[in-house]
Amino acid sequence: MQSRTGIEFNRDNAYAVVMWVVKNANAYFDAQLIETYETMVDLANVENYVSNKRVFQWNRFRYDTAQDERGTHFRLKVGHRMVLEYLGGLEGGYSESSRGISKRAADFVCDLIVCARNLGFEVLDQGPVEYEWKDSTARTIRFKTAGGKVESLLRVRAFFNRNVHLQCHPELIHAFNVQHGKLKGWLRNDAEAAAELEIPQETAAKHFQSGFRLTTTSAFPMLMSGERGVA
């Protein structure tokens, strides 16, 4: 059985692997966005959709999906400093790989950056490893706006009590709210997103279609052009 687990490396098999990755990558992009978004979901960080008049059902400060997911549509607050409890924060040791921040907290910030890039933001900084995390001073992850201006995308403060404080650019929160609502099936179009999230129609339209996507139609020409370049 184990002798048959290998795969011959040839052009056809390489194409098949790449096509599998392309076809499945979008599902992973979506799952990463939902997981990252819902890591930030806390009673203090969210509010109801406009049309949702029901009260949240909470279980240990998280929404109780088993009891009330259909009636609980939420959005992250804009311009709000989020306190993410027990995310990891600072750690006592120091190494070049951690640079003073816990792996869990560092991974979360990296996930945020990846999601931001997938949502169309031109992020200029690579992530936590660019900084030394020896105290709770805020570290800034920057991005370039469509007009070419450099602004703060994320301000992150980590603490030894395992908490992380996070402040996001309002446009990033709008993008997260729109795409999360779309992926959960709560927002069916940009007009509904604008009404439920109380944001301008133009903003809703921009972010409703902004999720990064790989397609086989774009991958095949790249593969074929690569083949022609091989002697």
Structural domain span for residue 170: 11-225
Give the start-end residues of each E strand in the chain. Answer: 46-48, 58-59, 62-63, 74-76, 82-84, 122-123, 139-144, 150-158, 164-168
Q: What is the C-alpha separation between 223 and 137, in angstroms, rounded?
A: 46
Indicate whether 128 belongs to any domain.
Answer: yes
State residue 171's pLDDT score.
Answer: 96
0.85 exceeded by pTM = no
Q: Flag whether 44 is in a domain.
A: yes
Number of structural domains found in the chain: 1
The C-alpha atoms of residue 78 and residue 48 are separated, in whole angstroms, by 13
Residue 219, H or E segment: helix 216-228
In a domain, 169, yes or no: yes
Residue 173: inside a domain: yes
Give the pLDDT of the chain (231 residues) as one tens digit per residue: 455 456 677 777 777 777 777 777 788 889 999 999 999 988 678 888 888 744 444 444 444 444 444 446 889 998 888 999 999 999 877 666 668 999 999 999 999 999 999 999 999 998 888 888 988 999 999 999 999 999 999 999 999 999 999 999 999 999 999 999 999 999 999 999 999 999 999 999 999 986 666 665 555 555 555 554 444
Q: What is the pLDDT of residue 191?
A: 96
Q: Is residue 119 part of a domain?
A: yes
Model pLDDT, residue 159: 96
**5, part of any domain:** no
Per-residue pLDDT tens digits for 106-142? 999 999 999 999 999 999 998 888 888 988 999 999 9
pLDDT of residue 110: 95
As a whole number of angstroms, the distance between CA 154 and CA 156 comes to 6
pLDDT of residue 227: 52
The pair of structure tokens assigned to 173 is: 């929160």
List the one residue out of 186, 182, 202 whose CA is nearest residue 194: 202
Of the candidates 199, 186, 202, 178, the one whose C-alpha atom is nearest the C-alpha of residue 51 is: 186
pLDDT at 118: 94
- Residue 100 domain flag: yes
What's the rounded Cα separation, in Å, for the pair 39 and 58? Answer: 15
Contact (CB, 8 A) for 28 and 110:
no
Query: Nearest to residue 182, comparing CAs of 40, 25, 49?
Result: 49
Supply the DSSP string of 121-133, one letter for each residue: -EE----GGGS--
- Residues in Cβ contact with 33 at an 8 Å cutoff, skipping those fewer than 6 apart: 115, 118, 119, 176, 179, 180, 183, 211
DSSP 38: H
Here the tokens at position 161 are 């009590």
Residue 88 is assigned to a structural domain of this protein: yes
